[in-house]
Amino acid sequence: MEELFNSSKLLKHWPSILLGLLLALTFKYIKEYRRKRSKNVKLAGEEDIAVDFPLEDPDALQPALEEKPHVPFVQGENLNPDGARRFYELARGRRSVRAFNAERKPPINIIEDCIRAAGTAPSGAHTEPWTFCVVQQLAVKQAVRQLVEQEEHINYSTRMHAQWVTDLRPLQTNAIKPYLSDAPYLILIFKQTYGTTAQGRKKLHYYHEISTSIACGVLLCALQAAGLSSLVTTPLNCGPALRRLLERPANEKLLILLAVGYAAEDCKVPDLQRKCLQDIMVKY
């Protein structure tokens, strides 16, 4: 009897129950939609894009760049005729140099122009996520050298595995780095893992490592074009200490430590061959 009474009560109120259910489902859907839009979803294998960025109100989002009408494209200068061939001739002359002329210092304006060139590199969503720290003072170069050599002794003896150390043998590198104090310039290139908008909000930097690496490539070519030599280094386990030494903020991570200058008169380089075009290019 009681069961019958309850089921008739249920039947009587079914429109309100259904409405309540519908409302609850809609509310849940909106909440989920907002959560998905506002929280970063970590994409598998995409280590180089910004994550962990809580947004308060997805509907109030503004782009980091100003939204303006596009302007007509202007073709930049080129090296024609034979621009590509001439550039190849230039690029193939670049070698990593580990002995610098400490007495001959290139003028700073050349370094500035090279970094200007690097700053023209493309970057994810035009975030320009790079900082180029140019060190010229001997005391700072010596401090860099001391820090790097200290870690490199540990790297070579314990951190790097035997195959790695063996593979480096033909390059004749070791834990002693005179070029870090001899080279007239050290350029420490930091990738900015995130930035700050003009309004002081946290700005996402997409593909900061790829973008900064491309900028470094442009920098290497510009240095070569200026007749300067360089050495790309990635000192293992030194990033945080070098960042602190140069008083760079926590959003910056060291990507490359570049030694720059004129090669020493008696400079020698490993006898290396480059892969030929057929080995690096596949036509479809």
User: Does residue 171 bind ligand FMN (CB under 6 A)?
Assistant: yes
- Tell the smallest beta-carbon distance from residue 278 to ligand FMN (Å): 19
Cβ atoms of 204 and 52 within 8 Å: the answer is: no
- Tell the smallest beta-carbon distance from residue 28 to ligand FMN (Å): 49
Quick one: 227 or 249, whose CB is closer to ligand FMN? 227
Q: Where would I find the H helices in 119-207? A: 138-154, 162-168, 179-182
User: Does residue 267 bind ligand FMN (CB under 6 A)?
Assistant: no
Residue window 49-88: x/- pattern of binding to ligand FMN, with contact defined by CB under 6 A: ----------------------------------------
User: Does residue 237 bind ligand FMN (CB under 6 A)?
Assistant: no
- Determine the interface stretch with ligand FMN among 15-23, 110-118, 133-141, 231-239 (rule: CB under 6 A): 231-239
- Tell the smallest beta-carbon distance from residue 274 to ligand FMN (Å): 7
Phi/psi for 55 (5° steps) reads -105, 135
Burial of 8 (0-12, 13-18, 19+ CB in 10 A): exposed
User: Does residue 125 bind ligand FMN (CB under 6 A)?
Assistant: no
Quick one: 80 or 273, whose CB is closer to ligand FMN? 273
Q: Please pick, from the candidates 38, 96, 193, 237, the single residue that binds ligand FMN as defined by CB under 6 A.
A: 96
Residue 90: how many CB atoms within 10 A of its CB? 13
- Tell the smallest beta-carbon distance from residue 255 to ligand FMN (Å): 9
Quick one: 55 or 226, whose CB is closer to ligand FMN? 226
Q: CA-to-CA distance for 249 and 247, rounded, in angstroms?
A: 7
Cβ atoms of 234 and 259 within 8 Å: the answer is: no
User: Does residue 95 bind ligand FMN (CB under 6 A)?
Assistant: yes
Q: Please pick, from the candidates 146, 173, 193, 237, the single residue that binds ligand FMN as defined by CB under 6 A.
A: 173
Q: Tell me which H or E stretch contains 90.
A: helix 83-92
Size of the site for ligand FMN (CB under 6 A): 11
- Determine the interface stretch with ligand FMN among 25-33, 64-72, 109-117, 229-237 (rule: CB under 6 A): 229-237
Q: CA-to-CA distance for 258 and 193, rounded, in angstroms?
A: 20
Give the CB-side neighbour count of residue 254, counting CA atoms within 13 A. Answer: 26
One-letter amino acid for residue 267 of the chain: C
Quick one: 26 or 234, whose CB is closer to ligand FMN? 234
| C-alpha pair distances (Å), 19 with each of 12, 13, 58 | 13, 10, 28
User: Does residue 154 bind ligand FMN (CB under 6 A)?
Assistant: no
Sheet hosting strand 185-192, strand order edge to edge: 130-135, 185-192, 252-261, 229-233
Question: Which positions lie near ligand FMN, rule CB under 6 A?
Answer: 95-96, 98, 171, 173, 231-234, 269, 272
